[in-house]
Structure 1
Amino acid sequence: MRKFKTESKKLLDLMINSIYTNREIFLRELISNASDAIDKLYLKSLTDASANVDQANLAITLTADKDARTITVSDNGIGMTAEELEKNLGTIAHSGSEEFKAENAEAQGDAVDIIGRFGVGFYSAFMVAKEVTVVTRAFGSDECNRWTSDGVEGYTISAVPTDDPAYRATCGTDVIMALKDNTDDASYDEYTSEYTLKDLVKRYSNYVRYPVQMMVTKSRQKEKPADAGDDYKPEWESYEELETLNSMTPIWKKRAADVEQSEYDEFYKSTFHDWEVPARTFSLHAEGSLEYDALLFIPGKAPFDLYSRDYEKGLELYSSNVLIMEKCADLVPDYYNFVRGVVDSSDITLNISRETLQQNRQLQVMARRIEKKITSELEAMRDNDREAYEKFFDNFGRGIKYGIYSSYGMKKDELAGLLFFWSAKNEKFVTLQEYAEGMVEGQSQIYYAAGDDRDRLAKMPVVKAALAKGYDVLLCTADVDEFCFQAMRDFTATGLAKVYEDDAAREAAEKAQADGAEAETEDRALMLKNVSSGDLDLATDEEKTAAEKTAKANEGLFGAMKDTLDGAVAKVTVSAHLTGEGDAPSCVTAEGPVSLEMEQVLAAGPDGGENAPKATRVLEVNAAHPVFAKLQAAQEAGDAEKLALYTSLLYDQALLTEGLPVADPVAFAQNVCKLM
């Protein structure tokens, strides 16, 4: 027996047991080696007329023998001489494929696309085999040689006589694996199953450029005998047929003009196990220092576990048509975690196991390009197919909003244009840009209300007050909306009518337009404002002055009301935007960074409870409402009990209107009964 060169026992043990994390990839590695061997023969035929290669006959064959417990991977590639067996298999980590590529790169240029790089893939066979035999015959040689090893100490190389059944009549290689004995933890017999082998080929080697073939057992109905009676029952028989297991040509390598959408749909459904067709299909091809192809899909509906902790994002990553990673998470940002697809590049630098990448920079380059492509496709859907985009946003908009929040607003410039919100004024979904374009003259903020129900939000006093003044209000019902807006702070609208600093500048512009000049536009940063915030600035100067006077004149009343509420509010004051008899008698607003909606969301979270952040509440009273006169009368009469009753009812009523729970429902019910 010949010893492996290098520190064989330690290094071989490392190759077999430490490099790969999943033993089923042994088949991927051996098929890749077989593909390389066929490539070498084909490339040699380009310069050697004696090769006489018929491309139609080039193939890789799998054979499983359940009784003998063996698996054989055969190819009709270039084969190896005894010396090459010694060099390629006897020297661990020597890559014949890499050497061949280096020797032929200058002559063949881009035509050399060899999968193997490290010379260790072959040894993955020992993860499932207790003995591996390689029978090979080199192109142009009459000799056939056998290499045998148990993967422990060394190997033997011997000539195969011509009368030996294992002798190859043509060039090529057979890799025969005698499977390990089954254990309580692992059943190696599964690798002799037709179903398992077909599944592994489909999953890892579906797009190897040569057919991977195997004899499979099928059934068919026997022909009905001519003398069969009316009571004849159909009979079935089993037969074997050579079947090609892989697709060979990746759909993402084909020109888009040559592929029907139905083909993309079928590929998507079969690859990603979805019943529905994708909402959007798009591809990109990058050239330069890093070349790659990508085929991407936006699903028609959200997966049931999209927002669970168990959901794994990522695109399938291929290298030279061989699957490297089923879900490469680094290729898509979290807010595009719903995107599915494949990326294929022969330029990426893999680690020795070919299961992960060696250089993050390459991933980053691809990820940036892919992200831009996804964004542009979503923008096109938003602008050209509104109905489809609304459905998309209903499925995946929450993640995009969360992307702005989780990036602390740093991604708002890229993602804000994709956001959709319900317009209370127009009663339809609008973008922030569309909201800005519909603002009334003099409006400098985007107003929104956050809660769990659109109809209830539309009936809130502060929303109705804003609408009455001509301002639109975005009704936000997702739990992440408030956090998203807090992170954004503002939105830069583009192409808005220019606001002039003074009358002279405006008149000059109007004169220029009258003479044929185009109207001037500008980009403007608009603050995002919750209508339930205490510093909402909707009132006119006159309304503000009147509210201040009323508040000052009723300091004693408001102080008594605050004391009655016993710390539930920071203050009680006159509302500057509830100014009519028909408006609500009161409303609750919040001061500071924590809004009323944020308080509710945080309280419902895993860290909720007594320690959750609280909003600083303010009770605003409508001084024009008849209820206010009742409050004043109770205060002037010194009827503290009645004032306390009115105050409690007014506050609880305002909470219910905001969709907030009252602190003591029993006390609220009792107070209503007292009033009755």
Structure 2
Amino acid sequence: MTVEAKKETLGFQTEVKHLLHLMIHSLYSNKEIFLRELISNASDAADKLRFEALSNDGLYEGDSDLKIRIAFDNDANTITVSDNGIGMTREEVQEHIGTIAKSGTKQFFDALTGDQAKDSELIGQFGVGFYSAFIVADKVTLITRKAGSQEATLWESTGEGEYTLETVEKTSRGTDIILHLKESEKEFLNDYRLSSIVKKFSDHISLPIVMAKEIPAVTDEEGNETEPAKVEDETINSASALWTKSKDELDDEAYNEFYKHVGHDFQDPLAHVHSKVEGTNEYTMLLYVPARAPFDMWDRDAKHGVKLYVRKVFIMDDAEQLMPRYLRFIRGVIDTDSLPLNVSREILQQSKKISTIKAGAVKKVLGLLEGIATNDKEKYATFWAQFGNVIKEGPIEDHKNKERVAKLLRFASTHANTDTQDVSFEDYIGRMQEGQDKIYYVTADSFTAAKNSPHLEIFRKKGIEVLLLSDRVDEWLVSNLNDFDGKVLQSVAKGQLDLDKFDTEEDKKEQEETSKDFESVITQIKDVLKDKVSEVRISHRLTASPSCLVTEQDAMSLNMERIMKEAGQDMNMFGMGATKPVFEINPEHALVLRLKEEQDDTRFADLTRILFDQAVLSEGGQLDDPAEFVHNLNGLLQGLLK
């Protein structure tokens, strides 16, 4: 069938041009990875065809012998990597190669430093795939035909800003990538060099990778040719699924190279677990913890993670049923013998066997992380810096494993007073004071705001450690994690503090006398702030600040309310409305003592509002009327000048 030719020249997305330039220069010292990346993409294309063909056998077009072919041409100065996988339509070529439609692209470019060594790690972690061809080629030609389609597409570019798309004819489905090598890269026009690279990086690919091999003619003793010279395919990789091998057959290098294929990453993983479960529900899992967080980790539509295989046949790579959201950074494969090859997403959602596999996978991952946390604190610190915020979703999402996940959590605290999150609940409990039965914490929108919170003053005075929570997810975490190991989690900014056991009898007597002494002041403050507060009381948590805001024990925290509002949530929709805080005053502070002595009602009201607004600012809140605050403050300062 003849197809109508249609050719157009298009410009690369700006990010692609930037990435190509950076990649060619930053990854040049490791240039042979271009072959690994192209083979990895070809393998994925074959996996996708296998899956699609389960419900439409006609996509094989009479050829179900899937393989990857590598060829080189000394005269043309080219290397060709071909596959007979799923192929692409013209639109898919333009979408996948002309643009980088990845969440996190901006953050990626913002993170680049100009240091080639550091940037090469970032570039590799972002995943360059097809673009790695330009490390060794000054022109790349791609010819592809989608399985089941009659129309093929030719894509071509020198990688300098533009590419052409043309409708062509191609008899076989799949994709051919032709690399027109730079003059300086002729070393790759060698079968031994190419096969060595395949052995090094891609031996684990379960698909046969073949190269043409010349078989010389066979002659008899008299020199007569008995068999003519011929060319036949030679498989140059082991072509067996790596995860099916025993651990004894595999070393760290083999595990790491497989991770780079399945995780589309350039860096070695942080850790892995390889396990086989036997019985009525048999499955093998090879799961990895990456060394760095992927840039699209916060993209809820990201379609990668753990690949599901059934008897070594790829089924899908975005099966959320295999791993909970809080472990979405895990990469690897799960291969089961217990499901039919034609399993659908709907069946997966309802399958008890999948639920069992998922539970087993989560158990293995949590066990792996527990082992790292116990035996290699430095490595765990690396893990936490990359994935801590995601793990904090665990107690919210996974009630069955809430306690196990809680043991993995790490926080900053007043113990070290640094923003390093390295304090576990067990560490905290080990340092609790005699008689202390609660785990105290404070939440804020930044570490600085948390460590400087006025709510910490009494705790510092009494030497009681407080966890400093400043990640957004922390508010949801403490809303869903009420206790740990029998110890209740208590916000220092909520309710009445239960610190009586740490007070002397003299302290208690003094507090009672102070409360009586300030009864009229409290009544007057209530009159001034009647629309803004639910209660006014003497504070037993302040030692240096004049005032603070406290929420009732079961109310939404002021920080959480602020987060919800910033997210555009209408609090009235939830029947909550704005939380009216409790206003606490420090009876020993000079400003409060001045307030107690103030006889002028107007000045009393102005000073009260200043103290309230200061408390709002200390909580990281925004003032309803900043101009009024400035006016009242200026009036107070002017009074001091008289």
Q: Which residue of 2 aligns with 1:195?
A: 176
CA shift digits 1:397-452 (9 cap, x unpaired): 22222232245x55422311111011212345211011111101000100001112
**Equivalences for residues 443-592 of structure 1 within 5 A:** 443-492=436-485, 525-539=486-500, 540=503, 542=505, 543-544=507-508, 546-578=510-542, 580=543, 583-591=544-552, 592=554
Q: Which residue of 2 aligns with 1:629?
A: 593
CA change 1:673–1:355 in 2 (3 A) is: closer
Q: Work out which of the two has the higher radius of gyration on C-alpha atoms and give 1 or 2.
A: 1
CA distance in 2, matches of 1:186, 1:345: 41
Q: Which residue of 2 aligns with 1:656?
A: 617
Alpha-carbon shift at residue 620 of structure 1 (Å): 0.8
CA distance in 2, matches of 1:60, 1:626: 80
CA change 1:330–1:551 in 2 (3 A) is: same
CA change 1:354–1:532 in 2 (3 A) is: closer
Q: Which residue of 2 aligns with 1:517?
A: none
Equivalent pair of 1:330/1:363 in contact (CA under 8 Å): yes
Alpha-carbon shift at residue 613 of structure 1 (Å): 4.7
**Equivalences for residues 68-467 of structure 1 within 5 A:** 181-182=150-151, 189=170, 191-192=172-173, 195=176, 211=208, 213=210, 242=233, 244=235, 247-312=238-303, 314-351=305-342, 360-407=351-398, 411-427=401-417, 429-467=422-460
Q: Which residue of 2 aligns with 1:509?
A: none
SS in 1 for 2:291: coil
Matched residue type, 2:529: L
CA distance in 2, matches of 1:604, 1:29: 57
Aligned residue pair count: 462
SS in 1 for 2:318: strand
CA change 1:350–1:577 in 2 (3 A) is: same
SS in 2 for 1:348: coil
Q: Which residue of 2 aligns with 1:85?
A: none
Equivalent pair of 1:350/1:358 in contact (CA under 8 Å): no
SS in 2 for 1:281: strand
CA distance in 2, matches of 1:29, 1:667: 80
- List gaps (5 residues or longer) in structure 2: 1-48, 72-81, 90-145, 154-165, 180-197, 215-230, 638-642
CA change 1:178–1:193 in 2 (3 A) is: closer
Q: Which residue of 1 aligns with 2:626?
A: 665
Equivalent pair of 1:532/1:596 in contact (CA under 8 Å): no
SS in 2 for 1:290: coil
SS in 2 for 1:311: coil
Alpha-carbon shift at residue 381 of structure 1 (Å): 0.8
Q: Which residue of 2 aligns with 1:594?
A: 556
SS in 1 for 2:392: helix
Matched, 1:615 2:559: no
SS in 2 for 1:556: helix
Alpha-carbon shift at residue 544 of structure 1 (Å): 4.9
SS in 2 for 1:195: strand
SS in 2 for 1:368: helix
CA change 1:382–1:630 in 2 (3 A) is: same
CA distance in 2, matches of 1:458, 1:197: 58
Matched residue type, 2:405: L
Alpha-carbon shift at residue 304 of structure 1 (Å): 1.3
CA distance in 1, matches of 2:523, 2:148: 86
CA change 1:333–1:25 in 2 (3 A) is: farther
SS in 1 for 2:568: coil
SS in 1 for 2:475: helix
CA change 1:354–1:484 in 2 (3 A) is: closer
Matched residue type, 1:486: S
Q: Which residue of 1 aligns with 2:107?
A: none
CA change 1:528–1:208 in 2 (3 A) is: closer
CA distance in 1, matches of 2:402, 2:282: 30
* Normalised TM-score (structure 2): 0.64
CA distance in 2, matches of 1:207, 1:354: 28
CA distance in 1, matches of 2:624, 2:63: 69
CA change 1:209–1:307 in 2 (3 A) is: closer
Report the RMSD for the aligned CA atoms in angstroms.
4.1
CA distance in 1, matches of 2:593, 2:350: 74
CA change 1:601–1:326 in 2 (3 A) is: same
CA change 1:558–1:29 in 2 (3 A) is: farther
CA shift digits 1:276-298 (9 cap, x unpaired): 22111121111112222211111
Matched residue type, 1:364: S
CA change 1:450–1:412 in 2 (3 A) is: same
CA distance in 1, matches of 2:384, 2:609: 42
Equivalent pair of 2:571/2:577 in contact (CA under 8 Å): no
Alpha-carbon shift at residue 590 of structure 1 (Å): 1.0
Choose the corresponding residue for 1:26, options 53, 59, 62.
Answer: 59
CA change 1:423–1:190 in 2 (3 A) is: farther
CA distance in 1, matches of 2:547, 2:569: 32
CA distance in 2, matches of 1:628, 1:390: 45
CA change 1:190–1:358 in 2 (3 A) is: farther
CA distance in 1, matches of 2:61, 2:331: 23
Equivalent pair of 1:405/1:484 in contact (CA under 8 Å): yes
Equivalent pair of 1:314/1:331 in contact (CA under 8 Å): no
CA distance in 2, matches of 1:178, 1:529: 60
CA change 1:288–1:25 in 2 (3 A) is: farther
Alpha-carbon shift at residue 319 of structure 1 (Å): 2.3
Equivalent pair of 2:147/2:174 in contact (CA under 8 Å): no
* Normalised TM-score (structure 1): 0.61
Equivalent pair of 2:446/2:471 in contact (CA under 8 Å): no
Alpha-carbon shift at residue 325 of structure 1 (Å): 1.5
Equivalent pair of 1:444/1:526 in contact (CA under 8 Å): yes
Alpha-carbon shift at residue 550 of structure 1 (Å): 2.9
SS in 2 for 1:420: coil
Alpha-carbon shift at residue 190 of structure 1 (Å): 7.9
Q: Which residue of 2 aligns with 1:225?
A: none
CA distance in 1, matches of 2:400, 2:429: 21
Alpha-carbon shift at residue 350 of structure 1 (Å): 3.2
Q: Which residue of 1 aligns with 2:225?
A: none
Equivalent pair of 2:326/2:397 in contact (CA under 8 Å): no
Matched residue type, 1:315: V
SS in 2 for 1:363: helix
SS in 1 for 2:581: strand
SS in 1 for 2:472: coil
Equivalent pair of 1:569/1:618 in contact (CA under 8 Å): yes
Structure with greater contact order relative to length (CA < 8 Å, sep ≥ 6):
2
Q: State the percentage of identical aligned residues.
A: 31
CA shift digits 1:385-405 (9 cap, x unpaired): 112212212222222222322
